[in-house]
C-alpha cells in the first residue's frame, strides 16, 4: 500500500467521510495523473450560426452520439419586428421536418427600469402539451437599437433511441416597454427517435444575432 493510499485510508471515517488530515500539500503534490475516464466538463464549440436580417438559423450537422449534452448560447438576438419571440423546434430527419412532439412548462419574472412593476408568473400560453409546434423561448423582445435577448438552451442526450429528449432553458430579454424579463422553461421531445437537427426563428419577422452550439464533454 503506497503512502498516499495509507494516508487516505487512515483518515476516512467508517461512514466514508474524509477527515481534513487526508488532504495535505504533500499528498496533492504527489498526484501525477488523473483517471482519464473522469469527465472534465469541457465545452467544445461545434458550430456558429450568425443571423443578419435572417429568417432562421438551423443546425443540421454535429448533433449526434458524440456528446450526451448540447448547449445553444444566444448572443444579442435582435428582432426586426417589435415584441417578437424567439422559438425552436427539433427534427429527427436532419432538418427535412421540424415537428417533434413536445411537452413543456414556462415561467417568467420581470422588473421595470423605474421599479414601478415586478412579478413572477406561470405562462400557460407559452407552454406546450403534446404539440408539434415551435416552443417559445422568450416573449416580447424589443427591436429598439439597444434591445436584445440572450441566454442558453440545453438539450440532453439527443441521440438516445431509448428515452425522450429533455431540454431546459433560461433567456433574458429587454422589452420595448423598458422591462427586464427573465424566462425559464423546461420540457421534453416526446420521441425515442434520435434528434439530429434544430431550428431557431422568430414568431414574426427576421432577426440579427449569433447562436453558438457547444458539445459538453
Query: Per the structure block, which three cell numbers stand in for 102?
Result: 413536445
The whole-angstrom separation of Cα 85 and Cα 47 is 23
Give how far Cα 1 sits from Cα of 103, 158, 184, Å: 54, 44, 51
Over residues 39-97, the pLDDT tens digits come to: 556 999 999 999 999 999 999 999 999 999 999 999 999 999 999 999 999 999 999 99
Write down the pLDDT at residue 176. Answer: 86
Q: pLDDT below 70 — which residues of the chain?
A: 1-41
Write down the pLDDT at residue 87. Answer: 98
Write down the pLDDT at residue 181. Answer: 96
Give how far Cα 75 sits from Cα of 29, 37, 85, 200, Å: 41, 33, 15, 13
Percentage with pLDDT > 70 across the chain? 81
Kindly report the pTM of this predicted structure: 0.81
Write down the pLDDT at residue 23. Answer: 58
Write down the pLDDT at residue 211. Answer: 98
Residue recorded with cell 477527515: 19
Identify which of 88, 75, 87, 71 has the alpha carbon closest to the alpha carbon of residue 148: 75
Domain ranges, ordered by start, for the chain: 1-32, 43-216
Write down the pLDDT at residue 12. Answer: 63
CATH fold, domain 43-216, is Jelly Rolls (2.60.120)
Query: Per the structure block, which three cell numbers stand in for 38?
Result: 473522469
Write down the pLDDT at residue 36. Answer: 53
Percentage with pLDDT > 90 across the chain? 79
Write down the pLDDT at residue 197. Answer: 98
Amino acid at each position: 500500500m503506497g503512502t498516499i493510499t495509507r494516508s487516505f485510508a487512515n483518515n476516512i471515517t467508517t461512514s466514508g467521510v474524509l477527515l481534513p488530515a487526508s488532504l495535505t500539500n504533500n499528498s496533492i503534490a504527489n498526484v501525477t495523473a488523473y483517471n482519464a475516464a473522469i469527465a472534465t466538463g469541457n465545452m467544445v464549440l461545434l458550430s456558429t450560426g450568425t443571423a443578419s436580417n435572417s429568417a432562421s438559423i438551423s443546425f443540421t450537422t454535429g448533433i449526434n452520439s458524440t456528446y450526451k449534452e448540447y448547449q445553444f448560447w444566444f448572443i444579442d438576438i435582435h428582432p426586426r419586428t417589435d415584441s417578437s419571440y424567439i422559438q425552436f423546434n427539433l427534427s429527427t430527419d436532419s432538418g427535412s421536418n421540424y415537428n417533434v412532439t413536445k411537452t413543456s412548462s414556462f415561467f417568467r419574472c420581470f422588473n421595470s427600469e423605474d421599479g414601478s412593476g415586478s412579478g413572477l408568473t406561470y405562462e400557460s400560453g407559452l407552454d406546450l402539451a403534446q404539440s408539434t409546434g415551435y416552443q417559445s423561448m422568450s416573449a416580447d423582445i424589443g427591436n429598439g437599437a439597444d434591445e436584445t435577448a440572450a441566454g442558453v438552451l440545453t438539450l440532453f442526450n439527443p441521440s438516445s433511441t431509448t428515452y425522450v429528449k429533455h431540454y431546459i432553458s433560461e433567456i433574458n430579454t429587454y422589452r420595448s416597454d423598458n422591462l427586464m424579463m427573465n424566462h425559464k422553461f423546461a420540457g421534453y421531445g416526446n420521441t425515442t427517435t434520435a434528434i439530429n437537427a434544430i431550428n431557431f426563428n422568430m414568431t414574426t419577422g427576421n432577426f440579427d444575432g449569433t447562436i453558438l452550439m457547444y458539445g459538453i464533454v
